[in-house]
Structure 1
Amino acid sequence: MNKSTDGSLSMLASDNASGVHPLVLEALAEANHGHSLGYGNDPWTARMDECFRETFGGHVEVFAVTTGTAANVLALKGMLASHQSIMCSDVAHLLVDECGAPENVIGSKLVGIPSPDGRLDLAAVEAHLQKTAGIVHHSQPGVVSLTQVTERGTLYRAEEIAALVDLSRRHGLRVHMDGARLANAAVALGLTLRELTTELGIDVLSFGGTKNGLMMAEAIVVLNPALADSYGFIRKQGMQLVSKQRFLAAQFLAYFDNQLWQRNAEHANRMAALLAESLQQYPSVQLNSPVEANMIFATLPEDWVEPLQQVSYFNLWNAATSEVRLITGFDTRHEDIERFLAAVADLEQRTV
């Protein structure tokens, strides 16, 4: 089947498959009137900077970019030297799905730390530090990167992040957060964006918007003022200084206005909870982890996968075990969920 068919048929593929929120489109249209100076010297960018400072702290610096890959890679580039390494989960998007971009652009080694549920284990991080620190034959640990929400759909609680930051500080390491789905984590945990980042000691954040209703806007948010000076140059050298930057800034203005980021994430999480709760009633479906945000990992009968993908495409996560990943977004509809569940019910009846 064509995976890029109409919206209902790709409803559970990814929150990247969703559209753009109407209010974001309105903001883009409004920014399209007349001329304005380029490269961030425009009133939209100035207001965007203020929105980020109101959200994360008055001292932060923000650098808008167009992709999550750029946000992650350039954020990390400003945090370490090429002889240093980046520790991350062994299932992190940074390690698995960036086509080697961090190593290519930064020249630093990525080290995958075993993380069965997607979250870094402090003991495993400590073990790697003990094994490599100070040994000239090894890349020296420089940064710990955590993903919120993780690639397994799990969340770091505030106390878990605080403990990871404390461990990193004791070893002289900086901490990066891949926050592609940070909005979903914040609403799930009932915390503000600042409480999950700045107040816990995160140094640099890759802040996502594309997965939660924006067209193509991400941001490097430098929370540690000591690191801020080089990022303007890093973004330019990294080919991410957009000339018509007002169109990136306008998206974030709509995102922060009336807490659109929060409303979008709440809806996505609610749809995932509804789907997960309904799936639990079918004996042939096994949920493989708690559904904490907007991602569901489940094992289906092998012969169910293709028929269900015809109803709504989703990713087969592990073909060997028939594990699938279902993701809801800000524009997932109740009727889409109901149609998918009707197909599950039909398959279950045939199985019985």
Structure 2
Amino acid sequence: MTGSDPLKAAVKPVSAGHASHPEQQYLDLLARVWREGSERRDRTGVGTRALFGATMRFDLSDGTVPLLTTKRVFWKSAAKELLWFLSGNTNIRPLVEQGVHIWTDWPLDRYRRETGDEIGRDAFEARIVADDDFAEQWGDLGPVYGAQWVGWPSYEPVGGDGPDRLYREGKPINQIAELVEGLKRNPASRRHIFTGWNVAKLGTMALPPCHMTYQYFVEPIEGGGGRLSGILYQRSCDLGLGFGFNIFEHALLIRMLADQCGYVPGEAIWMGADCHVYLNHEHLVAEQIARAPRAFPTLVMKRTAPSIFDYQLSDFDLIGYDPHPHIAAPVAV
């Protein structure tokens, strides 16, 4: 790294006057990664500045959720993505039909590479919606998040021994359903975990899971019941674009689980491993860290759905979200 980068020299922690705001954790990390991160070339070819290992904590007990205010985050798209994960669907079609474009770049890139057709995104999405066969062939992402969350493959031995033992596929494991039942039946368990990191399936995924492992903790409270907190371990975090969705969906899922299990929300804890900023996001970093965070919004759960899989976007309402304007930045595929 050289000392000639004017933004890197200018980036400093935001003033102590905002230090008590929970979003300051994120702004400080964003600034530190840009200022101190190792510059590396990555699989996208764009390049990043990155630091390894960071933690943030957000209190959900007052009903607020960590939705970034220093730029607008399209929370309805994030909620739709989470509901799509919980459905087990791995095709972009349901998202595109709802106006959510966050997963389109990966199948679009594959289509262009394999066919040589430099189709635009809008035209590609229109074909995904209109053509069943096209959507099946080109809209599928492989066994990403939802496939592992609610349909983790299981295997049963059918013969052989040792390294030559043969297996057949058994009934898929619904990790989310088992998580809910475990939280209800045995709140003190240390095994309230689900993950998307299925080693055998990584090579067939459009993108291996970045937010990969979740664990939950029920703290007994006076008078009965419990306070539900969750930790998200994220192996790779695009701080410029991905984090805003990741932390909001993490908090929303805690609220949904608490609602299903009769608990009150506790903390959303985030642990990031490779925390990075893409080199072409310089303008985003400069603009965002110059802004003062505003109050987090309050999330209202309008009903308790019959199951964790039955929530709809209309079941969530956000009160008091008053962010700074959105900051556009390119996605690295």
Taking structure 2 as the reference length, the TM-score comes to 0.28
Q: Which has the higher strand share?
A: 2
Q: Which has the higher helix share?
A: 1
